[in-house]
Structure 1
Amino acid sequence: MCPFFGIAQQPNDCVNAIVICGNGSFSSNASGAGVQEVSGCSSEEHNSIWIRVDIVQSGTLGFDLIPENTDLSVDYDFWVYGPNEDCSSLTTPIRCSTTNPIAAGQTNNHTGIGDAAMETFEGPGEDGDSYVEWMNVLDGESYYIVIDRPVGNGGFEINWTGTVSEGTGAFPEPPVANLIADIEECSDTGSANFNLGNLRSSINPDLSENVVNFYETLANATDNLNPLADTYTSSQTIKTIYAKVTSNLTQCTNVTEFNLIINQIENVSIAVSENPICAPKEVEVLFSGSENAIVEYQINGGSTQEIQLDAAGSAEVDQFINSTTDITVINTYVEDIDGSIICSASQNESISVTIAGISVGDNLIDFYECDGNKDGKVVYHLTSNDSIALSNVGSGYQVNYYTSQDEAEHRNNPIITPASFENTTSLPQEIWVRVEDASFTDCYAISSFQLDAYTDAPPSFEVKRSNLNFEEQHSITISNVTGIGTYEFSINGEDWKQPDETNTLTLTVEGGGQFVVTGRHTEGCGSSFKTTTFIDYPRFFTPNQDGIHDTWNIKGFQQQNADAKILIFTRFGKLLKSLSPSSRGWDGSYHGKQMPSNDYWFLVEYVEQLPDGTTINKSFKSNFTLKR
């Protein structure tokens, strides 16, 4: 039993029927019908394939046609013409089946020619069981078979049956189509040209009896569509090509495939771990390019050396540099698994490693710290200068600190604990930094910075009230803090806090009165202060003797401003009452007479006293409401 595989294809007709050879397997583009050529079984072509079988062994011949889509609505029909008919004068088919699987109540949608069937024609619709009687064929005969799919979609498989399929098979053997190795070419552009014409004799050695053509797809090879020219340009890393061998004698075909492979050769780049260097030493040389490529390079124009890049396209080598050194890539290539070069490209990338002196980084920090106890001794974090000192050099360098230039020059007595160094002389003191190669300590540079201290650095700052008065809770915002060092702030000497990253701090106070904002250095190097006053008072009062809001007075002045003078007026300026913050307040009367509901004005005259004893005379005027 030999299988034959078919899928929807470009329409073909009897004159260009596909010749079945050997096992008959093929793939196709197929869709639609060509010229209407069939007759019999009350149907016509819809989506048809014409095939031709040439018999080379006598016996019985049949087949099972099995759709790849098992849905019963997928309906295949067929017609058989022969033996030895001419396409230009086809007669009546000798076998045909156009039975519909659903209409006939079948359990599957198979059809074909078999030994159990008795009729030679069946269909359409419910007529038949989709199988007709198989054929007795003779060596040398040829038959045309039309396979059509009037309903549904999908390809099919044919299994050949009968005695002719036994032994050497019913159909002539296809010509030889040898497997060949993949073809590889080099490219530094992403595309390459391949000579397909040179491959014909390798695919079939008898070109006098056979023809070899090349195609981009297996379907094109089956249908003889768009054969390729002998020179083919590809821009794909791997492109599969199909070679079809056709026998001039039998028209039998055979297909083999191979790949066109483009090996991309990238330009190689060179980098070094350090350049320039200031003393002879080893540096790492990094090569980057195509994965697994072999790089040929020279040092100062000397003998050619090789290094292979890894799967990531990189490789490193250590090179000792004792003078200006030129490293040049001259070529790169790729080998196959047998060690043969399959791709190479000339290169001209170079780098020059030089020897030059180093320098200490610019803008070293001069330390100016707080001497809180004024004893002349301060601890400094010298290592804050490490990264600055190393900013002009690469990796592999180190920093040390010294108390004199001579010690720094000769590497004598480095400071052991630079992260917590206490000055060793009266301030200011000069400290020397030495930057040196950790492996070649003769490669160095020195510089210096100053240590100093202060004993009094009060902050300068601004105070802004969130609102003037009238609230139970107020906020005070401290901003524009300037000075030397780190500062903290408090209201009335309690709950010290530092400003945030925006140099701002907001503190909350309860009630009215005078508040002192104090700022001080966190290490005890001076403080300063500012004052602000909130006058809180009821916006209305109801003197109806119910015990609630029966009198009016300002709030928060009882302690710090007990001597403040409060004057109450009508809106026309008539003085009604004079009282103190510590008194019971105004009861809403004037000389024993109750004043009417209305707005009344008040004036507060008070003295603001600063922490240093200074006093400032101030006043505040506003209004409130009396309700009856």
Structure 2
Amino acid sequence: MKLKFIYLLLLFFNISVWAQSDCPEAIIVCGGMDYYGLSAGGVGNIVELSTATNDCHSEEHFSVWFKIQIKDGGTLGFVLTPEEIDDLVVDFDFWLFGPNLECGNLGDPIRCSTTNPLQAGLDYNTTGMNETEIDVSEGPSADGNGFVQWVDVEDDEIYYLVVDRPHGFSNFSIEWTGTATFHEVPYFDNPNDIPLGLTQCDGDDGVYDQMAVFDLTIYQDMFIGTQTDVDLTYHVSMNDMITGENPMTSPQSFTCGAPLTTVYLRMTNPVTGCYDIQTFNLVIPVISGDAENITLCDDNQNGIREFDLTVNDPDIIGNTDNASVTYYTSMQDAENATGAIGPLYENTTPYESEIIWARLEKTNENCFDLIPFTISIYSFEIPPMPINLCDSDGTEDGLTTFNLTVNEDSLSGNISNTSFLYYASGSDLQNDNPINNPENYFSTANPQTVYVKMTNNDTGCFATQSFSIGTSTVTPGTPQNIAMCDDNQNGIQQFDLSVNDSLVQDGDTSADITYYSSQEDAVNAANPLNLPYQNQQPYTDETIWVRMERNNDNECFSITSFTISIINLPVFNNPNDILLDLSQCDNDGIDDQSNAFNLTAHEEMFTGTQTNLVYSYYASMDDFNVGNAIVNPQAYANITNPQTIYTQIYNTETGCYSPLQNFTIEIINPIVAGEPSDLWQCDLHMNGLQLFILSVNDELIANGESNREVTYYPSLQDAQNETNPLNDVHQNSVPYTGQTIWARLESTDGCLGYDITSFTISVAQLPEINYTIRIEDFTKYDNSIAIDIANWEDFEYSMDGENYTNIPYFGSLIPGVYEVYIRSKDGCKTEQEDVVLLNYPKYFTPNGDGINETWQVYFIYFLPKSKISIFDRYGKLVSSFWGDSIGWDGMYNGEALPSTDYWFLLELEDGRNIKGHFAMVR
């Protein structure tokens, strides 16, 4: 029997984005099924087909793969029909691979068709394989008619068919043709056609949580029946059922948490891969209700009341049909339906809430629900809150007007919608005779007991309490003004105002003290100052207001005040900003870098107009920190050189200390040697030895100071020990090797100390100056002289012997004779050479006027051995002469040659040959 299978997986189920678009995930063709509603969804994760690898020259665009397993051999064909059969833009192609190949190694297709119906001029867009065709491949484009020859297949062979849609949008169907058969599809056997589905009550596991445990395998034997080689799996989603993924591991005990749940079953032949699917529903009957907690007032004032539990019946039953409600004191009794209570029930423990369990049961089913709620006695207490006021009405009788309602917010607490009544006595409370105007009640005794009744208007419950009202007076003591030193040097300080607490309390330690920045704030108890308090205006006195009040009675208070101020610190005056450091030389006869200093030298300047000052001096910060001052600052001998001295001023009247000041005392060595010059001489004797006058450095070493003496030594040790002094005229000892001379500078005015410096004497060898001159001439202004010399950077160059340059090149020169100087940079040797830059006139005029009568190269007379030859335009030699000649007069063998151009050859003494031409104009 042939079946039709509506295959909508790719349309309806989110399995894997490219599920059947890859060969490994191909749809397995089973039974006699034809397929309808198929959709080609993309190229998949793997592109198995490309234009270059098949005879039909196309590739995957939107594809679906089929795995065809042959049961009985024969002929295999099919007809593929697009749903949009009238839309010829819709084009389907296919390729068939096999037999018995793997997805990873399909090779070339044995059948394929990529004919485009529009381009081929067809009036249909179906395609496939049939008996009448003889070609095995066709396409692309206009090639073919959409059909190729079907294939002969053998038992148990496997083929892969891929269908692709390169153009248009449409689902498609496949109808199989031919004599070959496919493997049968497993089926779910239900011989008696029983309704499928399972129902289970909540609470089957003792927990009422709208969850139940089901045995899903209850139909398994019936479903399988007589079939063999089948596997039955259970799944929680349709996707998993279709793909066979994520089967349940324990279907015998599946926990369900929804009133209605669908279970998905898949029966698979593991040999052929063919499968069938089935579903059924799991039902957990919804039996639930709600119950309000019941609260009663403590009317009996003993915490015991009788409760009518039936007030919750309507809410518990709700919309449940055929239901009954019973009540229990424990969950176990409710589960077992034993020991029911009520419907009138008296609580057992005063003032403690109890849980009541309602059992909601459907009379026509075995399912029930348990609904807990609480019963409780509503009670509350009012704390006594006395009111104490100052007797400030002018009559010292202890009686005054009270606002009895001031504590209502505190009495209410978290209880909303309350009301209060006040009573002047206990009998008034019993007789419900409240005070008419509790906001303005004049007391009748001091103290007096008053009663309050607070009612919760939502519940009607109330409570009563008594409290006392009374009066008192407050008398503050006298606070002291507070002055602080300006230690921060900004006019701002943190004041501990609380030092005045005990003075203001004046023995009344029960009074509270608070501080304010204004009298108004103090009266209104607004904006109290935080302690410690920081003054607001630098160097400006502030008045602080003190409020003294009875504990817990902010209406009984008194106000007083005091002043806070900032005291300026002593300062180190230095009007001319002089340097405070002290220095002197070590002239006490002991060369130990120490001497007595008068540390008080600047005290008069420091003091200025200040009074009541005491100075202290410290040899170190450690001494300052422990208060170890220098005993005799007028004659203090330094202990290090240099040494920092720390000093501080104390004002004996204000008690304020200045910031710490420091200065340096230093034994200076007045002997500071200047920087001498290195001495050198040229090797005029050619032996590397010369006489040097060392005293030429005296003035530099003395650094311009008088009373200085310079002595020269051959070594540092000699200079330090004052041994082996050198004569003023000294000859170096080693030829061509620099010698270090050590100079010792001392004072002749009594200050101890010396300084040593050094310089070098050396004899410079006369260098070899090997060079060549390279010239560029025969221009009017752009001639040049270049000096080619090795180590050119060791020399300097000049054209006048006075102004030298480091560059061995001179450019932009006019023709002429130049003196070129090359001098070693130490000045020991100079070479000089005359260099001639030539040029020639472009024409001459031998016309007898005495002007420009001859032609000759400019400045060639400095090169007399140079030869000039003149030629006419035909190359004939018409004249030749030497550099010391006056030149050519335009004659040849006594005849005047005509005006025209002539050529010359100049053969210079240095070997250069210069050619050119000029004009003769008569």
Provide the TM-score with structure 2 as the length reference.
0.39
Task: Check the 8 A contact 1:489/1:496 in 2, yes or no.
Answer: no
Task: Give 1 or 2: higher strand fraction.
Answer: 1
2:325 to 296, 299, 311: 296
Task: Check the 8 A contact 1:19/1:52 in 2, yes or no.
Answer: no
Residues 1:341 and 1:455: Cα distance change in structure 2 (over 3 Å)? same
Aligned to 1:366: 386
CA distance in structure 2 between the aligned counterparts of 1:466 and 1:131, rounded to whole angstroms? 112
Task: Check the 8 A contact 1:471/1:511 in 2, yes or no.
Answer: no
Pairwise CA distance, 1:534? 3.3
Pairwise CA distance, 1:406? 1.1
CA distance in structure 2 between the aligned counterparts of 1:144 and 1:425, rounded to whole angstroms? 114
Aligned to 1:433: 452
| SS at 1:19 equivalent | coil
Aligned to 1:560: none
CA distance in structure 2 between the aligned counterparts of 1:180 and 1:488, rounded to whole angstroms? 88
Task: Check the 8 A contact 2:326/2:359 in 1, yes or no.
Answer: yes
Aligned to 1:241: 263
| SS at 1:361 equivalent | coil
Q: Is it true that 1:160 corresponds to 2:180 in the alignment?
A: no
Amino acid at match of 2:327: Q
Aligned to 1:406: 427
Pairwise CA distance, 1:436? 5.2
Amino acid at match of 1:194: F
Pairwise CA distance, 1:529? 3.5
Q: Is it true that 1:147 corresponds to 2:156 in the alignment?
A: no
Aligned to 1:447: 465
Aligned to 2:111: 96
Aligned to 1:383: 405
1:458 to 464, 468, 476: 476
Q: Is it true that 1:528 corresponds to 2:557 in the alignment?
A: no
2:536 to 508, 511, 516: 508
> Bigger shift: 500-509 or 263-272?
263-272
Residues 1:541 and 1:534: Cα distance change in structure 2 (over 3 Å)? same
CA distance in structure 1 between the aligned counterparts of 2:465 and 2:445, rounded to whole angstroms? 21
Aligned to 1:69: none
CA distance in structure 1 between the aligned counterparts of 2:346 and 2:431, rounded to whole angstroms? 24
State which structure, 1 or 2, has the greater radius of gyration over its C-alpha atoms: 2
Identity level (%): 13
| SS at 1:432 equivalent | strand
Pairwise CA distance, 1:233? 1.1
CA distance in structure 2 between the aligned counterparts of 1:436 and 1:97, rounded to whole angstroms? 94
Task: Check the 8 A contact 1:298/1:329 in 2, yes or no.
Answer: yes
Task: Give 1 or 2: higher helix fraction.
Answer: 2
- Aligned pairs for 1:168-567 (under 5 A) are 183-185=198-200, 186-187=202-203, 188=207, 192-198=212-218, 213=232, 215-216=234-235, 217-218=237-238, 221=241, 231-237=252-258, 239-243=261-265, 255-261=277-283, 271-274=293-296, 278=300, 296-298=325-327, 328-332=356-360, 343-345=367-369, 351=374, 353=376, 360-362=381-383, 364-375=384-395, 378-386=400-408, 389=411, 398-412=419-433, 414-418=434-438, 420-435=439-454, 445-458=463-476, 467-468=485-486, 473-474=491-492, 477=495, 479-480=497-498, 483-484=511-512, 488-490=516-518, 498-500=526-528, 502=530, 506-509=534-537, 511=539, 517-520=544-547, 525-536=557-568, 539=571
Task: Check the 8 A contact 2:329/2:357 in 1, yes or no.
Answer: no
CA deviations 1:498-557 (Å, max 9, x no partner) are 444856654434536x7653424697842333344433478466779xxxxxxxxxxxxx
Residues 1:278 and 1:406: Cα distance change in structure 2 (over 3 Å)? same
Residues 1:360 and 1:328: Cα distance change in structure 2 (over 3 Å)? closer
Residues 1:213 and 1:429: Cα distance change in structure 2 (over 3 Å)? same
CA deviations 1:136-155 (Å, max 9, x no partner) are 89xxx9997623599x9xxx
Amino acid at match of 1:50: K
Higher relative contact order structure (alpha carbons within 8 Å, sequence separation ≥ 6) = 1
| SS at 2:31 equivalent | strand
CA distance in structure 1 between the aligned counterparts of 2:68 and 2:466, rounded to whole angstroms? 96
Task: Check the 8 A contact 2:80/2:174 in 1, yes or no.
Answer: yes
Aligned to 1:50: 67
Task: Check the 8 A contact 1:61/1:160 in 2, yes or no.
Answer: yes
CA distance in structure 1 between the aligned counterparts of 2:542 and 2:220, rounded to whole angstroms? 103
| SS at 1:231 equivalent | helix
Gaps in structure 1 of 5+ consecutive residues: 34-39, 67-74, 86-91, 105-109, 165-170, 306-318, 545-569, 575-594, 606-616
Pairwise CA distance, 1:365? 1.7
Task: Check the 8 A contact 1:96/1:132 in 2, yes or no.
Answer: no
CA distance in structure 2 between the aligned counterparts of 1:529 and 1:463, rounded to whole angstroms? 9
Pairwise CA distance, 1:430? 1.9
CA distance in structure 2 between the aligned counterparts of 1:464 and 1:118, rounded to whole angstroms? 120
Task: Check the 8 A contact 1:12/1:50 in 2, yes or no.
Answer: no
CA deviations 1:204-249 (Å, max 9, x no partner) are 8x967999955315466557778778735135536532245799xx
CA distance in structure 2 between the aligned counterparts of 1:270 and 1:623, rounded to whole angstroms? 78
Residues 1:59 and 1:382: Cα distance change in structure 2 (over 3 Å)? same
Task: Check the 8 A contact 1:470/1:536 in 2, yes or no.
Answer: no
CA distance in structure 1 between the aligned counterparts of 2:326 and 2:458, rounded to whole angstroms? 27
CA deviations 1:579-614 (Å, max 9, x no partner) are xxxxxxxxxxxxxxxx96444584469xxxxxxxxx
Pairwise CA distance, 1:449? 1.5
CA distance in structure 1 between the aligned counterparts of 2:520 and 2:241, rounded to whole angstroms? 97
CA distance in structure 2 between the aligned counterparts of 1:493 and 1:146, rounded to whole angstroms? 96
CA distance in structure 2 between the aligned counterparts of 1:289 and 1:342, rounded to whole angstroms? 18
Residues 1:24 and 1:542: Cα distance change in structure 2 (over 3 Å)? closer
CA distance in structure 1 between the aligned counterparts of 2:329 and 2:344, rounded to whole angstroms? 13
Pairwise CA distance, 1:361? 2.9
Task: Check the 8 A contact 2:214/2:254 in 1, yes or no.
Answer: yes
Amino acid at match of 1:344: F
Residues 1:199 and 1:268: Cα distance change in structure 2 (over 3 Å)? farther
Provide the TM-score with structure 1 as the length reference.
0.53
Amino acid at match of 1:383: T
Residues 1:387 and 1:532: Cα distance change in structure 2 (over 3 Å)? closer
Pairwise CA distance, 1:407? 0.8
Amino acid at match of 2:389: E
Residues 1:526 and 1:143: Cα distance change in structure 2 (over 3 Å)? same
Pairwise CA distance, 1:62? 0.9
CA deviations 1:123-162 (Å, max 9, x no partner) are 89x799798516789xxx9997623599x9xxx9642369
